[in-house]
Structure 1
Amino acid sequence: MTGHDENGDEGGRRGRRARVLKVAGLALAGLLVLGTGGAGWVYWHLNQNIRSVDIDSALGDDRPARAVVTPSAPASASASPSPLPSGALNILVLGSDSRSGGANARLGGGDSSGARSDTAMVVHVDAGRTRATVVSIPRDTLVTRPSCPLSSGGSTAVAYGAMFNSAYSVGGPVCAVKTVESMTGVRMDHYVEIDFSGFAKLVNALGGVTVTTGQDIDDDKSRLHLAAGAHHLNGEQALALARTRHGIGDGSDLGRIGLQQKLVKALLEQISSADLLSDPAGLYGVVNAVTGSLTTDTGLDSLGELSKLGQSLKGLSADDVKTVMMPVATALSDPNRVVAREPEAGDLWNSLG
């Protein structure tokens, strides 16, 4: 089963505002905003917000090969003297349900001792960086979780038939990346994670987001109750929409992914129309909200690196972004779980390699 959501409403939103944010993925929307922000103390403060994990050092050479790097685009007279990267790129984007901190606990509830990858997307940007594909991985997917190194020393054991989102629980970002690389055969060039509180703050800093639902949603667990139709949601409501699953369809993760893809498109539209470049205070609020809850790999752990990434994606429009779900089938061992459906899933990952 695959999901596909195209957006054809970009219409008149061209020019400089529409260039600021032009790639799908909840966290990537925030990343491209970062490319426009701040100097002096503001720059230092936002830079200090970002947390990072040295995934390359932790995983070493036991990984899929990097994609062939194409020559960088030459710098123009008006651009930065440093050439911008233009090769293909794969980024693992996770939404974490961490309960650490009061804001996350209030939004997510549950035990504060651990976290899981509540949302997982592989963002593939084609060579030339003018087209992108966002692949959602259902968290209920059963996978072979590889042995992962632990920051405290030692490593986890290989686990067969494990829930995909358990990789983050047992080994953090390093194990999440290794599990995705193991199941896809595709090298993740970067890692980006945003938690509950950061996502809610981002939506609130943007003044909310308008989403149209095709059916009523009545989910006590996510605290979301909406009639079918268009709704302007605040941060807490948008987070509930991204997390809801019990009030729609068959209650599985697959229906939730469809809502998340709608929310991604709606967020991109909201950010494009917000005219943040002419509103420094609003821009600061958005960037501060994102960076305050952002974890990246060490290759993206500064505003300079994030800005360079954003500039390299300036030719990517929302019309050039395709969202799909990894093809899955019901697991024979458990009707409430899914497994990758082959050969379709393998063909999809091979197309991104």
Structure 2
Amino acid sequence: MSSSSRRRRIVRTAVGLAAVLVLSIAGAGAWFYHRLDSNITTFDPGGVATTRPPAPVPVTPGASVPVNVLLLGSDTRDDGNADLGGGDEGVGHSDTAILLHIYADHKHAVGVSIPRDTLVTIPSCKLPSGRWTEPRTNQMFNSAFTVGEFPKGNPACTQNTVEALTGLRIDHTIVVDFKGVAAMTEAINGVDICVPNDVNSHNIKLRKGLQKIAGQPAVDYLRARYGFGDNSDIGRMKRQQAFLSSMIKKIQGLGFSLPTLLPLADAATRSLTVDENLGTALKLVDFAQSLQSIKLSDITFVTTPWRFAGDRVALVHPDVDTLWRLLREDRTLDGQSTGQTEGTPAATATPTAAAPSPTALTPEQAAAPVVVVNGVGTSGLAGKAAETIRAKGFQNVVLGAVDGGRLRTEIAYGPALKSVAEQLAPLFPQARLVEEPGSEDVTVTLGRDYHPTAATGLDSLGAAPGATVPTPGAAPTAGATPTPSGVPTGIAENSRNADTDPCANLTFG
């Protein structure tokens, strides 16, 4: 087999998957497959929900269909992970979650990152006793992994949660822990990454700039939040996406020699927990060979359209609904069909319902005190925002003192005024909501992400209607406005291609 044909057999996917796919070109003997089989851990398929989204239908019998793979990074400190991650042993959370949608043409893929703090409904999940829980609303996404406190977590519950959220049927779920990341990066002699600034926080030290990391530093880079940008999980996901792209590129350029690839495959399988349908080395190889045509440049990473909701994250509608619909219909992010499947009809899918449009103000909400603060210093900015708020129906709107230097708009509210803040949020979709105990008003502090509205003929993000605006975080809730390329704004602003400059767009805030 020529070197070029071997290169075509490598699939460019994500960390937990990257090493698994190496098996497709390893050419190892049966003894090695047996060894890998003994490494692999599977989770109980009995925990997967009995009511699930339908599978996509091929256009013609035998045609390929899309494949959805849920990749989870566990932060458990159990089973030898405490030395790498710090903290006490015990069941961890799925602090990294990527839904990898492989299109039916098996030439393109989209990896959707779901923020760990996203507020979702966790559906009924199976406990160790065999009993099933009641659905719970308004829960952090990563807590689904801890339901039942299974020693290795509850991947089935997280899978159930993602299926309920998206309306997509998950074909495979793969979990990788700290040990797996460390071992796999060491097996390929490090991964090239970019650190946007020096970090010395929470026992994690990283130097600024391009560098190669493996083992403990790789774990540190992937799990660190503090010391980057605004210390949020959103920035951490940006770095994780860049890391996965770099790891895929590294594996592609290895030359595929057995002395390099076999340790990588061994390291991967020793750290993975997978669904029963990927529970043997031969099944993994089969799956890998079905994906051999995907190129690095044909993988896109997307973070679900989002906004801050206090210290949690809320999904932004209808942008996120558009994303799930495109994937259910196996359409590219600009709405194009691959022509391979009929997709999953939206009417038969059962994702979490979109957030309703804001209702009319109650008399109490209309009379609530609202203070608008110019956090930038641009003359007249607060006045224009106040006009927008009054047009919504708020009657008690005043201007506060200028407080310059703000990057992001913030809506702070007292506990009794939460509903008022939620009515204001659609007017400032890029804003974070912060509850302030003791506060008797709602204060909107404008950041650099806010621009004048209708009075200047611009939309709430400061661009002509329909234009693309490089605003971090959430997109306007009024609609998923297409960019010139056809990709909805809320999706485009949260995307990066796998072959993007590794130093680009690594932090948020």
Q: Secondary structure at the match of 1:35?
A: helix
* 1:41 to 1:70, Cα distance in 2 relative to 1, 3 A: farther
- Residue of 29, 38, 49 corresponding to 1:48: 38
Residues 17 and 273 of structure 1 are in contact (CA less than 8 Å); yes or no, is this contact kept in structure 2?
no
Cα offset, 1:164, TM superposition: 0.5
Partner residue, 2:104: 127
- Could you tell me which amino acid in structure 2 is paired with residue 42 of structure 1? F
Which has the higher Rg, Structure 1 or Structure 2? 2
Partner residue, 1:216: 197
In 2: Cα distance, 1:71 partner to 1:304 partner:
27
In 2: Cα distance, 1:168 partner to 1:217 partner:
32
Partner residue, 1:341: 316
Cα offset, 1:183, TM superposition: 1.2
Partner residue, 2:47: 58
> Is the aligned partner of 1:35 residue 2:35?
no
**What are the equivalent positions in structure 2 for 1:22-171 lying under 5 Å apart?**
22-37=11-26, 38-55=28-45, 57-69=46-58, 86-102=64-80, 104-171=81-148
In 1: Cα distance, 2:61 partner to 2:5 partner:
23
In 2: Cα distance, 1:336 partner to 1:156 partner:
26
In 1: Cα distance, 2:106 partner to 2:171 partner:
14
Cα offset, 1:330, TM superposition: 1.4
Residues 219 and 245 of structure 1 are in contact (CA less than 8 Å); yes or no, is this contact kept in structure 2?
no
* 1:188 to 1:273, Cα distance in 2 relative to 1, 3 A: same
Q: Secondary structure at the match of 1:36?
A: helix
- Could you tell me which amino acid in structure 1 is paired with residue 254 of structure 2? A
Cα offset, 1:200, TM superposition: 0.7
- Could you tell me which amino acid in structure 1 is paired with residue 144 of structure 2? A
- Residue of 283, 287, 311 corresponding to 1:305: 283
Partner residue, 1:21: 10
- Residue of 258, 266, 278 corresponding to 2:238: 258
Partner residue, 1:245: 225
Taking structure 1 as the reference length, what is the TM-score of the superposition?
A: 0.86
Cα offset, 1:59, TM superposition: 2.7
Residues 201 and 289 of structure 1 are in contact (CA less than 8 Å); yes or no, is this contact kept in structure 2?
yes
In 1: Cα distance, 2:178 partner to 2:64 partner:
32
In 2: Cα distance, 1:71 partner to 1:243 partner:
44
Cα offset, 1:222, TM superposition: 5.9
Q: In proportion to residue count, which structure has more helix?
A: 1
* 1:142 to 1:283, Cα distance in 2 relative to 1, 3 A: same
In 2: Cα distance, 1:35 partner to 1:152 partner:
38
Cα offset, 1:151, TM superposition: 3.3
In 2: Cα distance, 1:187 partner to 1:219 partner:
41
In 1: Cα distance, 2:307 partner to 2:56 partner:
29
Cα offset, 1:43, TM superposition: 1.5
* 1:310 to 1:96, Cα distance in 2 relative to 1, 3 A: same
Residues 64 and 187 of structure 1 are in contact (CA less than 8 Å); yes or no, is this contact kept in structure 2?
yes
- Could you tell me which amino acid in structure 2 is paired with residue 352 of structure 1? L
Cα offset, 1:242, TM superposition: 1.0
**What are the equivalent positions in structure 2 for 1:289-300 lying under 5 Å apart?**
289-300=267-278
* 1:298 to 1:239, Cα distance in 2 relative to 1, 3 A: same
In 1: Cα distance, 2:198 partner to 2:96 partner:
19
* 1:122 to 1:301, Cα distance in 2 relative to 1, 3 A: same
- Residue of 174, 186, 193 corresponding to 1:192: 174
In 2: Cα distance, 1:346 partner to 1:165 partner:
20
Q: Structure 1 stretches of 5 or more lacking a match?
A: 1-13, 74-84
Cα offset, 1:17, TM superposition: 4.3
Number of residue pairs matched by the alignment: 320
In 2: Cα distance, 1:222 partner to 1:68 partner:
50
- Could you tell me which amino acid in structure 2 is paired with residue 308 of structure 1? D
In 2: Cα distance, 1:93 partner to 1:21 partner:
18
Cα offset, 1:281, TM superposition: 2.3
In 2: Cα distance, 1:205 partner to 1:19 partner:
21
- Could you tell me which amino acid in structure 1 is paired with residue 36 of structure 2? L
Partner residue, 2:326: 351
In 2: Cα distance, 1:71 partner to 1:149 partner:
37
Provide runs of 4+ in structure 1 moved above 6 Å. Answer: none
In 1: Cα distance, 2:47 partner to 2:316 partner:
30
Cα offset, 1:219, TM superposition: 4.3
- Could you tell me which amino acid in structure 1 is paired with residue 271 of structure 2? S
Partner residue, 1:226: 207
Work out which structure has the larger RCO, using CA pairs closer than 8 Å and 6 or more positions apart in sequence. 1
Q: Secondary structure at the match of 1:16?
A: helix
Q: Secondary structure at the match of 1:129?
A: coil
Cα offset, 1:101, TM superposition: 2.1
Give the percent of matched residue pairs that are identical in Structure 1 and Structure 2: 37
Residues 92 and 122 of structure 1 are in contact (CA less than 8 Å); yes or no, is this contact kept in structure 2?
yes
Deviations 1:227-258 (A, max 9, x none): 1x211112211121111111111111000111
